[in-house]
């Protein structure tokens, strides 16, 4: 029988992903290489957006109605080291919740496809 469940379903849906996102932002906000990007950010709104975005990236429903990636990061001039730091924190947050490395790789590969829309804007 073919395996049809998405990574989103496997992880436990939006409720679990919201927990991952909370932990992810704890890591991000403790990291001086990237936390300044969030100084004037409404973190509650940011967490909600990120939960919907990551849910969609992991094969869940597309409820993400935010700005395009390029628009959302406009004027930030994000560099590769910033992107890499965020990816590392996402990896660590997923690992913290017991997500297998192979599934983390799948998720991070999806995130990697956005690199060009996020960097140097």
Q: How many CB atoms lie within 10 A of CB 50?
A: 22
Where helices occur in 5-100 by DSSP H, the ranges are: 7-11, 13-29, 43-57, 69-72, 80-96
The verdict on whether residue 82 carries a ligand-binding annotation is: no
The verdict on whether residue 73 carries a ligand-binding annotation is: yes
For 107, residues 6+ apart whose C-beta sits below 8 A from its C-beta are 7, 54, 57, 58, 90, 94, 99
Q: What is the chain's alpha carbon radius of gyration, rounded to the nearest angstrom?
A: 14
Q: Six-digit token pair at 75?
A: 């004027």
Binding positions for heme are 49, 73
Residues making up the binding site? 49, 73
């Amino acid at each position: 029988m073919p395996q049809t469940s998405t990574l989103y379903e496997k992880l436990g849906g939006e409720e679990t992903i919201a927990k991952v996102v909370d932990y992810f932002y704890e890591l991000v906000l403790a990291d001086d290489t990237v936390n300044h990007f969030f100084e004037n950010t409404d973190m509650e709104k940011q967490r909600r957006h990120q939960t919907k975005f990551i849910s969609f990236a992991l094969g869940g429903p597309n409820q993400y109605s935010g700005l395009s990636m390029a628009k959302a990061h406009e004027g930030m001039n994000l560099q590769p080291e910033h992107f890499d730091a965020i990816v590392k924190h996402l990896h660590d947050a997923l690992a913290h919740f017991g997500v297998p490395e192979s599934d983390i790789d799948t998720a991070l590969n999806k995130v990697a496809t956005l690199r060009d829309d996020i960097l140097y804007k």
